[in-house]
Each structure stands twice: as C-alpha cells, then as structure tokens.
Amino acid sequence: MLTSGWKTVSMIDIHGKVTFTLWLCGCNLKCPFCHNWHIAEGKDCFPLDRNALLEELESNAFLIDYLHVTGGEPLVQWQELSSLLAEVKLLDVPVSLNTNLTLIDPLKKLLNAGLVEHIATDLKAPPVELYGLPETTSQGLWKLFLDGLKTVSDYTIPLELRIPVARGFNQWPWIEEGLKMLKTDFYIILNPLVGKPLTNPRDETWCSEHCWPRREEMGRLKKKLEELGVEVYVNNFSGDGL
Ligand code: SF4
C-alpha cells in the first residue's frame, strides 16, 4: 500500500476530535483546488510499513478518538486498506475514513465488514467545475456521490460533510440535492477554498478565479444551512469572525 506518511496526534482533521492520521496515495478525481495533488498523483509516496504503523497506533491509542484515513482517495487501495483495518479493529481503535464517496462498491465492502465508524467527505459543487474532469464523467461521479451519501445513511454512519466554498458559483442547488440524501447524524463544515500562500493548489489559474470566496458568499451559505436547522461550522482563514 502506498502512503505519504502519518501523524500520530492531530487536532485539525475532524471537528472536535483527536486523530491519528494516515495519508494514502492515489485518487480518481482531479480537483483543481486540490492541495494534496502530489499525494493524489502518487508523488512522494512509499510502501507502508504496516508493522511500524500498527505499533505507533497502539502506543497512541489512549490519546485519540479515531484512526483517520485520508489521502488522496483511500478507497483506490481498498483491498490493502481492508486488510489493514481488520488489524486495526483488533486494537479496538475506531476508524474514520475521508473519502470522495464515488467508489461505492469498495465503500460498501468496508462498511459490510464493520471496519469504519465515521466518514468525512467533501460535497464538491458544481461537480463539473470542482471534480476537474470532463462534463459527462463529472455528472456520473456526482450521481455516485449522491449514492455514497445514501449508503452512509443506510449504514447509519456519522458523517462530517465538508463543503469547499468556491468564489463565483451558485453551489446551493447541489448542496440541497446532497442534503436530501442524508438520513444519518451529520454536521457541516464550510471550508473556503484557499490558494497561495496558505496552500499549493493543483491549478493556480483556476484558483486565482475561484479560491478565496467573498465573505458574503460564505455568509449566505451559512445562513441558508442554519435556516434548515443544520449544525454548521465555518473554517475561517481570514479571521473576520463569520
Ligand atoms: S481534493 Fe481529494 S478528491 Fe479531489 S483530487 Fe484531491 S485528493 Fe482527490
């Protein structure tokens, strides 16, 4: 299994939780704002030393709420991941999976085996813009994503739904469509897309147009979500107290 490494204690990967975070390589999307694109493209990756990981996880288990597996898209390597998580289960450490929710069969295999206790995902809207792939492919992937939200609900897995907020798009119709699929415990994190110098996005030209959403765009989405009674948090990099 290819990894770019792990962090034994992280306070920033899941809202209000402490995680041991593992990054896995590869991804089936090409999001233009992606700041982990080198991991997604398999750069700076190396074979996972499973024993070393499990030893460190066991030593830190008393400090953490979850092993958080992220990437890249972890389900690209689902077979190896499944066998790793079977060993993690023996350590009694709950697992949180950060996935783009478009690889449904692998997701169901892990959920059927009881290997995942929490999911985090991004609702990327409009998908044709944010997936970075041709239009028909993106539309098909969006349908898979909706199916992924339904699957998470069917298995009653708690969900951290992250919305990357982009500048200059009306993202609401897709957000509404996604919310209709959810019948499980969830809350929303609004993440304004940011570029340099805070991150190193895959496509700087795209980011110069669509990163750094306006304060009003963030505020409008937050208000609409709150009007629906959704629990919503804002990751605010500008410090303006939204
Ligand atoms: S943002 Fe996530 S889903 Fe998109 S390319 Fe990067 S790793 Fe893949």
CATH at residue 28? 3.20.20.70
In a domain, 73, yes or no: yes
Query: What is the per-residue pLDDT across 94-105, written as a single tens digit (0 to 9) for each?
Result: 999 999 999 999
- Residue 242 covered by a domain: no
Structure confidence at residue 239 as a pLDDT band (50, 70, 90): very low
- The answer to whether position 42 is within a domain reads yes
What residue numbers bound the domain in which 133 lies?
A: 2-234
184 belongs to a structural domain = yes
- The amino acid present at 169, given as its one-letter code, is F
CA separation for the pair 143, 139 (Å, rounded):
7
What spacing in Å lies between the alpha carbon of 47 and ligand 1's midpoint?
20
Q: Would you say residue 240 lies in a domain?
A: no
User: In total, how many domains does the chain have?
Assistant: 1
Confirm whether 212 is domain-assigned: yes
Within 6 A (CB) of ligand 1 lie: 27, 29-31, 34, 36-37, 40, 71-73, 100
How far apart are the CA of 149 and the centre of ligand 1, in A?
17
118-133 residue pLDDT tens: 999 999 999 999 999 9
Q: Is the pLDDT of residue 238 over 60?
A: no
Q: What is the pLDDT of residue 242?
A: 52
- State pTM to two decimals: 0.96
pLDDT at 241: 44
Whether residue 241 is contained in a domain is answered as no
Confidence of residue 236 (pLDDT cuts 50, 70, 90): confident
Among 2, 27, 107, 131, the mutation site with the greatest number of ligand 1 atoms within 8 A of its Cβ is 27
Query: Atom 6 in ligand 1: which residue has the minimum CA distance?
Result: 34
Atom 4 of ligand 1 has which residue's CA nearest to it? 31
Residue 214 lies in a domain: yes
